[in-house]
């Protein structure tokens, strides 16, 4: 999956990753120990992720007393299990919606000229710079029963649809917030696909649909997987959007963690919930990994 950037990019919107090293740096040491380059990120991860994660995990076994009580509690309380499953199902739906919406968009970004591409990139990034809360509140106004979408539907004489405080509403809102995380990895992979391969398939007699399915799609799959994993994992931890756009039946696990920790001060239970979510995510990714790897190989072979 080499991302050769032989396509000229517009307006320097893609700083080369190598740019960081090109300054008047003592080249020798970095060249000898390339891993040094990862140090700042690594230190930040250890301080801001590793240590808190360790504390949370420890507390899930030790608060209020050593043992598995918090995990026993988690799995013996029906609401936790229901909400855990719901969290995964909402995350899956959001991922599916994102793939469907992002794929054609990212393709379009590769197909148009530089100026239009800049516009398309801005369309992705500008909402991204707006706070998630603000965007979610905008969705409240769009989706509510007396909102714009329902007013338009009623204008044409149909009954309104229930959007806000439903799972559908939550999925719509979350997909919009997360769309950039799907579009950007997809675009960066699609940009590297040699379109002459598709032309070759066409010249060998493949119909457009076949050329797409057999050549282009497999080559773009790494981007789909990368984006899907990011979106899926980010979805699992969503808090604001489901709280504002959802009703009781779209509560996600983060809300339950919040109420355990912030209003009940049950750090142990909150920690256990976090650990269960984390482990469940790892298991799911481990199950999906072989599938992806296989596709990956196929893709690089073709």
Partner 1 sequence: MGSRSRLAGFVGAAALALLAAAAHAQNAPPAGTVVDGSLKGKTLTFVSYGGIYQDGQVAALKEFVDKSGVKLLNDGPTEIAKLQAQVESGNVTWDVVDTDDFPPFVHCGKLFQKLDLTKLDISHIPAGQVGECSVPAMNYGMVLMYKNDKYKDNPPKDWKDFFDTAKFPGTRAIDGSGSPLGGLIEQAILADGGKVDAMTPADIDKGIAKIKAIGPDTIFWKTGAESQQLAESGEADMIIMWTGRAMTAVKNGAAYTPVWKDWLVVMDQLTIPVGAKDTDASYALINAYLGKKSQEILTEQTSYSPINNEAQPKVDASVAAFLTNTPDHAKLGYQQNIKFWVANFAAASDKWTALMAGN
Q: Does 146 bind partner 1 (CB under 8 A)?
A: yes
CB of 87 to partner 1, least distance (A): 11
List 156, 263, 286, 287, residue binding partner 1 (CB under 8 A)? 263
Residue length, the chain? 302
Write the DSSP assignment of 178-246 as a string of letters.
HHHHHHHHHHHHHHTS-HHHHHHHHHTT--HHHHIIIIIHHHHHHHHHHHHHHHHHHHHT--HHHHHH-
The two structure tokens encoding residue 24: 């008047």
Q: Please identify, using beta-carbon distances, which residue of 142 and 193 lies nearer to partner 1.
A: 142
State yes or no: cis peptide before 117, omega within 30 of 0: no
CB of 130 to partner 1, least distance (A): 18
Q: Please identify, using beta-carbon distances, which residue of 74 and 225 lies nearer to partner 1.
A: 74
List 60, 95, 144, 241, residue binding partner 1 (CB under 8 A)? 144
CB of 25 to partner 1, least distance (A): 40
Q: Does 247 bind partner 1 (CB under 8 A)?
A: yes
Q: Does 256 bind partner 1 (CB under 8 A)?
A: yes
List 5, 259, 298, 300, residue binding partner 1 (CB under 8 A)? 259
Q: Does 140 bind partner 1 (CB under 8 A)?
A: yes
3-state secondary structure at position 88: helix
CB of 49 to partner 1, least distance (A): 18
Residues numbered 56-95 forming contacts with partner 1, rule: CB under 8 A: 77-79, 82-83
Binding mask of the shown chain, residues 163 to 182, with x at each position contacting partner 1 by CB under 8 A:
--x-----------------
List 249, 297, 300, 302, residue binding partner 1 (CB under 8 A)? 249
Candidate segments 39-47, 193-201, 209-217, 263-271, binder of partner 1 by CB under 8 A: 263-271
List 267, 272, 273, 276, residue binding partner 1 (CB under 8 A)? 267
List 251, 254, 271, 299, residue binding partner 1 (CB under 8 A)? 251
CB of 86 to partner 1, least distance (A): 9
Residues numbered 186-245 forming contacts with partner 1, rule: CB under 8 A: 243-244
Q: Does 153 bind partner 1 (CB under 8 A)?
A: no
Residues in contact with partner 1 by CB under 8 A are 77-79, 82-83, 140-141, 144-147, 165, 243-244, 247-251, 255-256, 259-265, 267
């Amino acid at each position: 999956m080499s991302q050769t950037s032989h396509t000229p990019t517009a307006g320097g919107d893609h700083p080369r990753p190598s740019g960081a090293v090109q300054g008047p740096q003592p080249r020798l040491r970095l060249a000898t120990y390339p891993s040094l380059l990862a140090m700042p990120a690594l230190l930040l991860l250890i301080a801001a992720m590793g240590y808190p994660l360790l504390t949370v995990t420890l507390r899930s076994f030790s608060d209020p007393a050593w043992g598995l009580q918090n995990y026993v509690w988690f799995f013996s309380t029906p609401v936790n299990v229901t909400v855990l499953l719901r969290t995964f199902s909402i995350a899956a739906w959001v991922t599916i919606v994102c793939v469907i919406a992002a794929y054609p968009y990212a393709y379009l970004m590769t197909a148009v000229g530089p100026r239009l591409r800049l516009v398309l990139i801005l369309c992705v990034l500008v909402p991204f710079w707006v706070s998630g809360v603000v965007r979610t509140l905008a969705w409240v106004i769009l989706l509510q029963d007396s909102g714009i979408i329902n007013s338009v539907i009623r204008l044409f004489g149909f009954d309104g649809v229930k959007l806000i405080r439903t799972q559908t509403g939550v999925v719509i809102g979350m997909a919009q917030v997360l769309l950039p995380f799907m579009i950007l990895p997809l675009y960066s992979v699609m940009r590297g696909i040699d379109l002459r391969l598709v032309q070759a398939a066409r010249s060998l007699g493949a119909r457009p649909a076949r050329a797409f399915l057999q050549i282009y799609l497999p080559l773009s799959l790494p981007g789909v997987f990368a984006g899907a994993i990011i979106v899926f994992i980010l979805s699992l931890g969503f808090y604001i959007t489901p709280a504002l756009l959802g009703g009781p039946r779209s509560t996600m696990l983060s809300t339950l963690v919040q109420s355990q920790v912030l209003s009940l001060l049950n750090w142990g239970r909150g920690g256990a919930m976090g650990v269960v979510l984390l482990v469940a995510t790892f298991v799911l990714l481990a199950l999906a990994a072989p599938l992806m790897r296989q596709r990956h190989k196929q893709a690089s072979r073709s």
